[in-house]
Amino acid sequence: MARYFDVNPQNPQSRALDQTAAILRDGGVIAYPTDSGFALGSLFSNHSGVERIRHIRQVDAHHNFTVVVSDFAQVGRYVQLDNWAFRAIKSVTPGPYTFILPATREVPRAMQHARRKTIGVRVPQHTTALALLDTLGEPLASSTLILPGHEEPMDDGWTISEELGHVLDAVLDSGDVGSEPTTVVDLTDSSPDVVRVGGGDPSPFEA
């Protein structure tokens, strides 16, 4: 059964963050809060964790996982950026956006889109998510916690613990998640493609 950590949204307790990070380092899969609802996360290098997330979400190898990082300076390590993409992402980061781009060699094959070799990348604007990333010291392999048959992400930590505690190792909850999923923008071609409209304003990426 998942451990449940209830933390202060303005100043998340370091003990809970340390324990959550330890669970991730031990191969765990967690639910954690973001500015776009809850997300599922595992250690970036945890192949079995990625597969567990696929199973929970019921998505296949063509699902774009997301590398969640704590600041914009880390983005270029995981996705290939031309000058336009660099400026476009920087202009709205941090925030409720996910950008799909070709993955670099730093990204495990298990996380990449099976055919396109792409990956999502994002920098959340959420105190607890950023604090967890800083405690962990590396990015998370992540996917928005949208259950099969639903269109919106789960937004209540206690409900997640009750419904998914048997398939998760921890739920980190600060009670202050966003209610919409990220806006997803595909930047793999010469012009942006807004794949999903969510919490981020899509107008900078629309013709």
3-state secondary structure at position 48: helix
Q: Which helix (H) or strand (E) holds 15?
A: helix 14-25
Q: Which amino acid is at 98?
A: T
pTM metric for this prediction: 0.94
**Non-local CB neighbours of 105 within 8 Å, separated by 6+ positions:** none
- State pLDDT tens for residues 50-73: 999 999 999 988 888 999 999 999
Q: Is omega for the bond preceding 124 within 30 degrees of 0, making it cis?
A: no
The two three-digit tokens of residue 205, written as one number: 């990426």
pLDDT at 126 over 70: yes
CB atoms within 10 A of CB 18: 12
- State pLDDT tens for residues 4-38: 999 999 999 999 999 999 999 999 999 999 999 99
Full domain range(s) for residue 69: 3-205
Residue 79 maps to which CATH number? 3.90.870.10
Q: Which amino acid is at 58?
A: Q
Query: Domain count of the chain?
Result: 1
